[in-house]
Chains A and B, each alone.
Chain A
């Protein structure tokens, strides 16, 4: 039986006052009851709320079990792992509530036709709700969250959906990931990571995010975006010819995801995961159609499908990139001049067509939620905003946890060249993004083990 995962906008009461006093749509009522029932179970029970959340990540200091802390972030398996995880979670809610037709709703915060989409759904913002005429605590509520609005730039889906490849290399990542672990795919960077840090509270860290009921709706939307991407003409799946190496394809096709008890886990093969109509998935989305404005923007930004083929094979596409400069041990708010390593191509002779900065081995005890990357063609030149990244994955995790962030600085290349930049050196600085609650907090910082500049010449 294919169940429908509804858009939260179509099942929400919309207004906070109504959510506090009126009966909820059955989809949200079942969800709230399911969360309550799961929370009533002890953490050692594989059907408990804590077990489900810990399967994603565990707070620092919690003794680890093999089934816990599995979240596949910054990995090629980010999307399929979370799809299987959601299906397993959905099954638990259905079993505990007895509502066999229930499907997890999704939160489409990027819907340009719905001005309220950027706010947390009303049912998640009220501390109490009415059940059988009585006000009872609302299990979907968490006072630590930001309620919105989420800034438009953070939930812009154009760049992710405009990427034709599911998997890319370093530094040119694909929609779903890269051929090396520890790099975010486009959809994982934006909107996924940004929504996590924007909502904050439990959502701020992968170690606790699964404890927040809004987490599951956020990931349902990310999962839906995968379906949207697949529906776009010219999207190149990993398993399509030219989509990835034999090694990656074999890894992908043989993956099995497992959840629950270590002795008798629920398992999901990649065939199960890739087919929404399979017995183990059995759902469809209310809509995978893009609003007209988004569809047009994505079509305009998408690289055209090459005549007679799918484009460069992955390894050839990567060969066009080259590391040209590197520096080490950079702290946030510290300016660093990177000297370019001479390359046979000579950037002064042929300016790069694209420029990407990688911040690798980033660590933090308490990071700012987001950083802006500033570059200058010379130490005394004007700074240019090359890009930004959200630090999801660094907060609430052990200090030795590392993340890598890629920032595409191609947009500022014309400005740099106009200033007479010849590629000999580049000044780089990471500054906390302004306008956020933690922007001026002097106790927050990140440490970057390695900054690498990648250039692509035609």
Chain B
């Protein structure tokens, strides 16, 4: 990239955050990143030790105590929501912008919030389902195998021609009513479509983190999803693939060095 191109891009980027809705969404996402990055008492980042419960397996002799994810704990829900705000909210900016521009003045903020709330609730539901599934399988928090399995699934999905086609289609929003009950309904529909796009972009990696995660995976997954969202027609773009593969390699190497592979 030449200096001229970089200057132009910087100018456009600064222009892109001029709208209030974009600033609010990015501000919330930045705050969530900070919250997730703050070390917790007892070690680890905020998101790394999501709601852990001690479960006793009554049929195991002798009884053993194993740690599993507790998706109904406030800690898990709080961490998961922070993750959604940090990683997924930036992906909603085009939709929220379109909604606010299509709305009557008095409805702009409200309908934008409806869209964001829809995306967040759907992600919460998916996260809860993923964590419940992990709990059913007695997957321990931070399981390396669980994370690697979903990272591999994400890498396979990148090769799918259908995924590329659906991603292109997901850019389309329905007719957006400018206010009233219909405005709420169409903003909800827009939120659902936006969520579908987010899920296609990084659903498997989000599920990988349903049992806890490292900040590294979160950063790499976010960069991959944001990159792909900004380059939706880049056919078989290697950048997000390399980012996700890099995250997978990091998890595997870190686990090997810690001696966790084989025990997790």
Contacts and interface: CB of A to CB of B under 8 A. Distances in A.
Given A66-B162, A322-B105, A449-B175, A251 B16 contact: no
B239 to A, nearest CB: 10
Contact of B104 (A181, A241, A341): A341
A1 B175 CA distance: 46
B contact residues, range: 35 or more
Nearest to A451: B175
A250 B232 CA distance: 9
B101 interface: yes
Nearest to B95: A180
A262 B160 CA distance: 10
Contacts of A265: 235
Contacts of B94: 247
Contacts of A343: 104-105
Contact of B175 (A66, A262, A322, A360): A360
A257 B231 CA distance: 12
A251 B230 contact: yes
Interface string B112-129: 000000000000000000
A450 interface: yes
B172 A247 contact: no
Interface string A368-388: 000000000000000000000
Interface in A263-303: 265, 267
B233 A328 contact: no
Interface stretch (B7-15, B28-36, B71-79): B7-15
B13 A246 contact: yes
Interface in B97-144: 98, 101-105
A358 to B, nearest CB: 8
Interface of A: 66-67, 70, 77, 169-170, 180-182, 241, 244-247, 249-251, 254-258, 262, 265, 267, 313, 315, 318, 322-323, 326, 328, 341, 343-344, 360-361, 402, 404, 449-450, 452
A318 B101 contact: yes
Nearest to B162: A66
B174 interface: yes
24 contacts: A66-B161, A66-B165, A180-B98, A181-B172, A182-B173, A244-B12, A245-B15, A247-B94, A254-B230, A254-B231, A255-B234, A256-B235, A257-B235, A315-B18, A318-B101, A323-B104, A341-B104, A341-B179, A402-B174, A402-B175, A404-B175, A450-B175, A450-B177, A452-B102
Contacts of B230: 247, 250-251, 254
A169 B101 contact: yes
B233 A262 contact: no
A361 B174 contact: yes
A241 B178 contact: no
Interface string B222-254: 000000001111111100000000000000000
B173 A181 contact: yes
A326 B178 contact: yes
A66 B160 CA distance: 9
A449 B16 CA distance: 31
A341 B171 contact: no
Contacts of B236: 256
Interface of B: 8-9, 11-13, 15-16, 18-19, 94, 98, 101-105, 161-162, 164-165, 171-179, 182, 230-237
Nearest to A343: B105
Contacts of A360: 175-176
Contact of A77 (B8, B101, B162, B233): B233
A398 B21 CA distance: 35
Contact of A246 (B9, B19, B102, B174): B9
Nearest to B8: A241
A180 B172 CA distance: 7
Contacts of B101: 169-170, 318
A267 B233 CA distance: 12
Contacts of A247: 16, 94, 230
A254 B173 contact: no
Contact of B232 (A249, A251, A344): A251
A67 B177 CA distance: 34
A361 B175 contact: yes
A402 B176 CA distance: 13
Contacts of A344: 105
Contacts of A169: 101
A77 B172 CA distance: 13
Given A245-B15, A404-B175, A452-B178, 6 more contacts: A66-B161, A66-B164, A249-B9, A254-B233, A256-B234, A452-B102
Contact of B177 (A257, A315, A318, A328): A328
A180 B173 contact: yes
